[in-house]
Structure 1
Amino acid sequence: MAEADPAILAGIARVSEAAVADAAELDTRLREATTPFVVRGLVADWPLVQAARRSAAEARAYLLRHHRDRPFTVSIGRPGDDGRLFYDAGMAMNFTIARAKLPEIFAMIDAMEAGGEARPLYLASIDMNEYFDGLIEANHVDLGDRVLLSSIWMGTPTRIAAHNDVPHNLACVAVGRRRFTLFPREQYRNLYLGPIDNTPAGRAVSMVDFHDPDFAAHPRFREALEHALIADLEPGDALYIPALWWHHVEGLDRFNVLVNYWWRDSARFLGQPQDALNHAILAIRDLPDDQKAFWRDQFDYYVFGNDEGVTAHIPEAGRSVLAPLTPETAGRIRSFLLRQLSK
């Protein structure tokens, strides 16, 4: 896989590094951090990392000893696309989705390492609890009382376009080297995002090719680079990515494995903001300007402002969903929306 333009990389600041002595110190840093940080060697003692230090084949053998006998979902890219899993010229995906058992997928990687035709193979966001036995217990970070989604990402050299995720993310490199290029939340206008419904993996992605940016087509990307941060990670290193930060991810070696932990600060019964954005496009975006202005004011009043003036005149027992949400009132809104959308 080709490298990014060194001149571009040279101008990007590095993600700061932090040393943590124990789980309590990691917990404090995670709670206080507002920007990404790297912890070198955080998971260096993992058995998977130790296997990887011997060889990529040893790492695959270790994973096979823990996998469950069930089909895995794998993205298969095209030769000649430089590992980039993205859109083709017609805005369809330039990769196909297949289902296969893990030994079959790893056999394809073995063949490529032996000199076969190289193409991107990528197993993305595989739930470790559902697809492996004992792997998460043997390779684990103590993150206290956070409710975690623990995923593993495996594949050949790949480039994943810049995107963001709603939860916070602790990404731990287990096998191979990885490069993250990160941008603050507010840089989305300078990243030239693609569609929000036709996406490679559920989130809108930057249309900029980070290895060969077209500054004529994407001039504001220069501004984004002024705010960018870069992290080059070795096996055993970990990177904290705060919620909604944009990140472009590259797996740089012939076989790469990442384990990540996602968690949210908000209550689990709340809805997904992306769903609200999609519904607003459906219901508001194409209204006449004067009506859009009214609904913008309503959103400011009920959602973004939401001060005591919204409910002070309503008896407390009668404030319904205007009061702080509970699992019951959140469920009531969800049921109401399902009925309305099904009409």
Structure 2
Amino acid sequence: MEGEAIRTMRLAGGEALPLDALLADGQPAILKGVARDWPLVQAGLRATRDAMDYLRGLDAGQPVQYSRGDPDIGGRPFYNDDFTRLNFEVRRGHLGEVLDGISAHLEDPRPPTYYVASLLVDRALPGFSQANGLGLEAHGIDAPASIWIGNRVVASCHFDAPENLACCAVGRRQFTLFPPDQVGNLYPGPLEPTPGGQVVSVVDFDAPDFERHPRFRDALAHARTATLEPGDAIFIPSMWWHHVRSLEPFNVLVNYWWRRSPDYLSSPLPALHHALWTMRDLPEREKQAWAHVFDYYVFGPAGRAGAHLPEQARDMLGPIDETRARRMRAMLLNRLNR
């Protein structure tokens, strides 16, 4: 799939990650070779078996959740034909079982799908982060590492609310990114169920059906693409859509998510669900009126709605702090439970 290349940055030896600049720019970027010296990366460059043995050596033996799909899903955890069920099973087992399953099918052209997604490293692989890390804490970023382990898996196009720095550790990965304003051209699927916890595009990127999804052509005009080699990292800004294809028989990615807002600010996703429930099906004139209200209170400048009031009268129109957040949460729960 063609698209505009993602900007690539090459850092000199020992040069600090330019996270402040990346966050200020708000555009995706490739950080070439920043994880090249990781022991896991070096093991994978030697041999697939070495990378698997490295992970086995750190395995704490904790049960892990993983996806397993038949060969006919083509490595794409997705939906059945009518979008009512998923086309794979979610299982619990041990990491060694997953590695054994992948290993048994390394030479198969159409293997069954094995996929461990977003496994917290510190719990499952103690000691991993000490040897394989990017030093984000030096930037004041608290972002626990997650690891993704599988064979040739396709992660359908989706977005994540946090900022994301993802390191290709073993194998190669192809990323296709779209800016947030392309949501309507990507044909998002059901909000529930979802293959991985986030709404995904229903477009088959391998064989787009432009009769069913004509606006996808417009999305492609805004696509950014890159193929990451072992040791490369990609910065994916908050809310950017990304389609990720693992290209080798065995692949490992390590990523770091973090929010730039305080923990006491809740996720906006429940607000979306609430708005669907309370506003989407209103008469059009009322919907447009509410759009003006939301623009005034929410999407406009943060201080505008309360600027004409004395500070002591602003209450929730003033800046949200932890105390005010707790009070607002209690108020909402009380109203929802009536």
Does 1:13 pair with 2:4? yes
User: How far apart, CA to CA, are the structure 1 residues paired with 2:320 and 2:304?
Assistant: 17
Contact 2:303 2:318 in 1 (8 A): no
User: How far apart, CA to CA, are the structure 1 residues paired with 2:314 and 2:21?
Assistant: 38
Match of 1:4 in 2: none
Does 1:153 pair with 2:148? yes
Does 1:233 pair with 2:224? no
Q: Which amino acid aligns with 1:105?
A: V
Question: Which structure 1 residue ranges, 5 or more long, are not aligned?
Answer: 1-8
Offset at 1:333? Answer: 1.1
CA deviation profile, 1:116-147 (whole Å, cap 9, x unmatched) = 97211000011112212100111000222112
Does 1:267 pair with 2:259? no
SS class of match (1:201): coil
Contact 2:115 2:150 in 1 (8 A): yes
Q: Which amino acid aligns with 2:78?
A: F
Most deviating of 285-294 and 305-314: 305-314
Offset at 1:297? Answer: 2.1
SS class of match (1:261): strand
Does 1:288 pair with 2:280? no
Normalising by the residue count of structure 2, what TM-score does the alignment of the two structures yield?
0.94
Contact 1:174 1:259 in 2 (8 A): yes
User: How far apart, CA to CA, are the structure 2 residues paired with 1:17 and 1:151?
Assistant: 23
Most deviating of 192-201 and 90-99: 192-201
Aligned pair partner of 1:318 in 309, 313, 317: 313
Does 1:65 pair with 2:60? no
Q: Identity across aligned pairs (percent)?
A: 43
Most deviating of 253-262 and 141-150: 141-150
Contact 1:171 1:259 in 2 (8 A): yes
Contact 2:65 2:116 in 1 (8 A): yes
SS class of match (2:202): coil
User: Paired residues, what number?
Assistant: 334
Most deviating of 194-203 and 324-333: 194-203
Question: Which structure 2 residue ranges, 5 or more long, are not aligned?
Answer: none
Offset at 1:263? Answer: 1.2
Match of 2:120 in 1: 127
SS class of match (1:58): helix
Offset at 1:294? Answer: 2.9
Normalising by the residue count of structure 1, what TM-score does the alignment of the two structures yield?
0.93
Offset at 1:25? Answer: 4.7
TM-align CA RMSD: 1.7
Any residues of structure 2 matched to 1:133-148 within 5 Å, and which?
133-143=126-136, 144-148=139-143
Does 1:299 pair with 2:299? no
Offset at 1:178? Answer: 0.4
